Structure 1
Amino acid sequence: MRFSHDPALLAEFPHLVVATLTLDGVTSTPDVAASAGPFLERASARLAERPESEFPEIAAWRRAFTQLGLKATQYRCASEALLRRFKKEGELPSIHPLVDLCNAVSLAYAIPIAVFDLDTVIGDLTVTRAEGTESYLSFSGTTENPEPAEVIFRDDAGNAHARRWTNRQSALSAIRPDTRRVLVVSEALHDTAPADIDAVLADLTKALRQHW
């Protein structure tokens, strides 16, 4: 499987910085609480200083969504949605050890991190503008078609594994107890994204190696 961004999309967003990693042999048994703890503490400290809407990482995604014709307060990038929930509830629900760990890192850096089950991706995976005929499986079990020109993660079979770029991931490639191979994707657009994405990748790699 080859993962890439459409050159036309990169031309629209030349400041985009991306990090990816793949992981084989995933299990759902590790206890990641100790590894996730410091990242959650970092997120709490940042939220105590100012609201997430003022984080440069979030502000950059809001500008990108506005450029895409989306209302920034209606459609939020994944990291902003996580931060808002974490601020309100003081914690995040446990989904899967791998997802929990990635969510904690995403909170700490305010940068979206997506995790895809590779066994559900057919062919290559490309972040690109939708044609509008692609199939997206929602978590409610309904099938949707993205809007034409909407930014999606599309595989060669026409499955949309995420809608509105970093806004909504598909249930089709969500991590489950039997997931074994995954692709992790982190994307950022703010001014210090190159250094921050490197830090995300380093921290995440170190944490993942402790458990898998």
Structure 2
Amino acid sequence: MSSMLPSISPELARIAPGFRALSIYVKAAPLCDLQVGELALKEACQAVLDGQPAWAENHLNAWGDVFKAFGAKPRRTPCSAEALRKRVLRDGTMAALDPVVDLYNAVSLRYAVPVGGENFAAYSGLPRLVIAEGTEAFDAMKEGQPTVESPEPGEVIWRDDIGVTCRRWNWRQGVRTRLSAADKEMWFILESLPEMPLDELYAAGKMLTDGLTQMMPGVAFEATLVSVDSIPA
């Protein structure tokens, strides 16, 4: 497999010192076991209700501080992992959506880590984490209809050559690169701060790749740790 690495703007070191992420590029194989994701999701919901992991609150609070540092309001627009966790704590469970989406949501819940899943075939160029100028295009849905928005100047975004793929770091994913189990090229990004032990980040990645391997035997993947210190923009 050819190397596929996202880029991270050095400017983000002042907003989120110690930020590191596990980038996992996947060449999918035919689906054989459709229950893997749903079962993982049920187990992860129970883990949340049981108060796991022990460091979840510290990690999610740290993400809240990072969001505040670039002008976001984490109570209104929390990081993706906190939003999922709040839903499970409120409802006690989460409905299955798609085998692959269920799996990466399970990883996010079990490890209190924001996980993005993208249809890499829909990308133009490589993913990059940058500070928005405010003119970039973000395709979204509003009241059931497609719409195009722009991020706020200074907002942290994931983007490619066409436009924004995820707003407010990991808050809301765009429509264009949305992932499903039918996609042939997948990209996952597991994003952590120092409050999450590094070995737990690797364990989260292993949960994802083990689940994909069980779900679609023959899948190939490439996992790489990236950080604000190791990757030039």
TM-score with structure 2 setting the length: 0.81
In structure 1, the residue matched to 2:227 is none
**Which of residues 7, 25, 28 in structure 1 aligns to 2:28?**
25
In structure 1, the residue matched to 2:6 is 3
2:44 equivalent to 1:42: no
In structure 2, the residue matched to 1:63 is 65
Alpha-carbon RMSD: 2.2
* CA deviation after TM superposition for structure 1 residue 85, in Å: 0.9
* CA deviation after TM superposition for structure 1 residue 145, in Å: 0.8
| Total equivalences in the alignment | 208
Determine which structure has the larger helix proportion and give its number.
Answer: 1
Identity %, equivalent residues: 28
In 1, the alpha carbon distance for the partners of 2:148 and 2:64 equals 27
Superposed CA deviations along residues 116-154 of structure 1, whole A, max 9, x for unmatched, are 100111011101011212111113311101111211111
Structure 1 residue identity aligned to 2:58: P
TM-score with structure 1 setting the length: 0.89
Moved more, 147-156 or 188-197: 188-197
* CA deviation after TM superposition for structure 1 residue 162, in Å: 0.3
Moved more, 33-42 or 138-147: 33-42
**Which of residues 13, 16, 19 in structure 1 aligns to 2:19?**
16
| Residues 17, 193 of structure 1: 8 Å contact kept | no
**Equivalent residues in 2 for 1:102-121 (5 A)?**
102-121=104-123
**Equivalent residues in 2 for 1:83-98 (5 A)?**
83-98=85-100
In 2, the alpha carbon distance for the partners of 1:26 and 1:144 equals 34
Which ranges of structure 1 fall in alignment gaps of 5 or more residues? none
In 1, the alpha carbon distance for the partners of 2:112 and 2:181 equals 26
Structure 1 residue identity aligned to 2:170: T
Structure 2 residue matching 1:208: 3-state secondary structure? helix
| Residues 24, 189 of structure 2: 8 Å contact kept | yes
2:77 equivalent to 1:75: yes
Which ranges of structure 2 fall in alignment gaps of 5 or more residues? 217-233
Higher relative contact order (CA 8 A, sep 6+): 2
In structure 2, the residue matched to 1:172 is 176
* CA deviation after TM superposition for structure 1 residue 62, in Å: 0.5
* CA deviation after TM superposition for structure 1 residue 61, in Å: 0.4
Moved more, 5-14 or 160-169: 5-14
* CA deviation after TM superposition for structure 1 residue 34, in Å: 3.1
